[in-house]
Amino acid sequence: MKFNTKVIHGGQHHDPSTGAVMPPVYQTSTFVQTSPGKPLNPDYEYSRAANPTRTALENALASIENGTRGLAFSSGLAATDCILRSFKAGDEIIAMDDLYGGTYRMFTRIYKDSGIVFHFVDMNDLNKFKSLINKNTKLVWVETPTNPLMKLADIQEIGKITKANNILFAVDNTFATPYLQKPLDLGADIVMHSATKYLGGHSDVIAGALIVKDEALGDQLHFQQFATGATLGPMDSFLVLRGIKTLHLRVQRHCENGAKVVEFLSNHPKIKTVYYPGLPSHPYHEIAKKQMSGFGGMVSFTFVSGEKEEAVQFLEKLKVFTLAESLGGVESLANHPALMTHASIPEDKRKEVGITDDLVRLSVGIEDAEDLIADLKQALA
């Protein structure tokens, strides 16, 4: 199947008991057994281990990312946490230097006393990256494009290095989505999504996902998920699955609107720098063209003045864009990373990677682009 068909039919089956076209919401915690230790259906004993609605979503996730197994979690951070539970004191993890604030918080605060050593590096400096690899290196963690500076990393080149050194390679594919980028095909071992964002697509669910290409790794991660309990409920699974069925249509419009918003911002006298991988001036534009089929709907920018107050005033004046955390919904959202999504990162670290106090991040939705541009124009006036 091609992708537009996969999002609707990939890994999916009509309900065998009723013929329902959409998977039912199996709102049950447990399943009947015909004899002790013999469930009526061998796949289902207890919903923390497996639930038919969640299974339908997980099969769809595996299909759209070209993996062998998908796992659905109660949040993107729960999915990330599940991966980290694979490691022990003395193990080392190399991560990209520009990360979602929640990921950075987990790495540096939740796991700080576990004995796991984290290194943060610009993944485009492959020599620096390779210099950090040693016998204790167990995982490489990459976001591409990153949140919020839209930095990219060459998945294929990093994958060659991790494979040669027998290191697990995980990619946060939340911003790009499998519609635009397929990390498993490029050499990654694990794909992570905050399914709250583009996969769900309607700002009505919190969810996370992991997709792997190695079946044994999938079994290991499923056991860790089952044993720690961060599973996605059936109703939320249904909502994400429903969102996936329109992913291709929505992301295409996100891309179209994003390009128009970027053109407007790039020519506005109050705007200093626009961060968007589709711009020829973007430092990683060539990588984007190499590994992405489109450039997405996420845009960040700074002001000529460099003043936080100007960014705050701009955000307060928006009428169509909603000032709120999160991203990837059908509605356009605006965010101040330093005060909102990335506030958990120390100020010196934010400034070190380029998250300045005048930085604004936009999640460009699927409204009429003319209305979005008119809103930006009046807020900048």
Alpha-carbon separation of residue 298 from 3, 284, 381 (angstroms): 21, 15, 22
CATH 3.40.640.10 in the chain, residue ranges: 3-243
Q: How far apart are CA 349 and CA 360, in angstroms?
A: 17
Q: What is the average pLDDT across 18-22?
A: 93
Q: What pLDDT does residue 293 have? A: 98
Q: What pLDDT does residue 36 have? A: 97
User: Are the CB atoms for 103 and 77 separated by under 8 Å?
Assistant: yes
Say if residue 349's pLDDT is above 90.
no
Q: Residue 351's pLDDT band (boundaries 50, 70, 90)?
A: confident
Catalytic residue numbers, as ranges? 48, 100, 172, 197
Cis peptide leading into 148, omega within 30 of 0? yes
Q: How far apart are CA 260 and CA 268, in angstroms?
A: 13
Coil, helix or strand at residue 375: helix
Q: Residue 341's pLDDT band (boundaries 50, 70, 90)?
A: confident
Residue type, 179: Y
Q: Which two tokens stand for residue 11?
A: 């890994």
Q: Which CATH number fits domain 248-380: 3.90.1150.10, 3.40.640.10, 3.40.50.150, 3.40.190.10?
A: 3.90.1150.10
Q: What pLDDT does residue 274 have? A: 98
324-357 burial string, b = 16+ CB within 10 Å, else e? eebbbbeebbbbbbbebbbeebeeeebeebbbbb
Q: What pLDDT does residue 352 have? A: 87
CATH 3.90.1150.10 in the chain, residue ranges: 248-380
Coil, helix or strand at residue 257: helix
Q: What is the average pLDDT across 287-313?
A: 98
Q: What backbone torsions phi and psi does residue 191 show, to the nearest 5 degrees?
A: -115, 135
Percent of the chain with pLDDT over 90: 94
The pTM for the full model equals: 0.96
Task: State pLDDT tens for residues 24-82.
Answer: 999 999 999 999 999 999 999 999 999 999 999 999 999 999 999 999 999 999 999 99
Mean pLDDT, all residues of the chain: 97
Q: What pLDDT does residue 71 have? A: 98
Measured in whole angstroms, the distance separating CA 144 from the mean position of its chain's CA atoms is 9
Task: State pLDDT tens for residues 176-235.
Answer: 999 999 999 999 999 999 999 999 999 999 999 999 999 999 999 999 999 999 999 999
Task: State pLDDT tens for residues 229-273.
Answer: 999 999 999 999 999 999 999 999 999 999 999 999 999 999 999
Domain 3-243 sits in CATH 3.40.50.1820: no
Run of H or E including 361: strand 360-363
Say if residue 129's pLDDT is above 90.
yes
Say if residue 17's pLDDT is above 90.
no
Q: Which two tokens stand for residue 132?
A: 């950090």
- Polymer length in residues for the chain: 381
> Which is it for strands 38-39 and 33-35: parallel, antiparallel or unpaired?
antiparallel
Q: What is the average pLDDT across 291-301?
A: 98
User: Are the CB atoms for 303 and 272 separated by under 8 Å?
Assistant: yes
Q: How far apart are CA 139 and CA 123, in angstroms?
A: 14
Q: How far apart are CA 142 and CA 154, in angstroms?
A: 10
Q: What is the average pLDDT across 275-304?
A: 98
Residue type, 344: S
Task: State pLDDT tens for residues 80-89.
Answer: 999 999 999 9
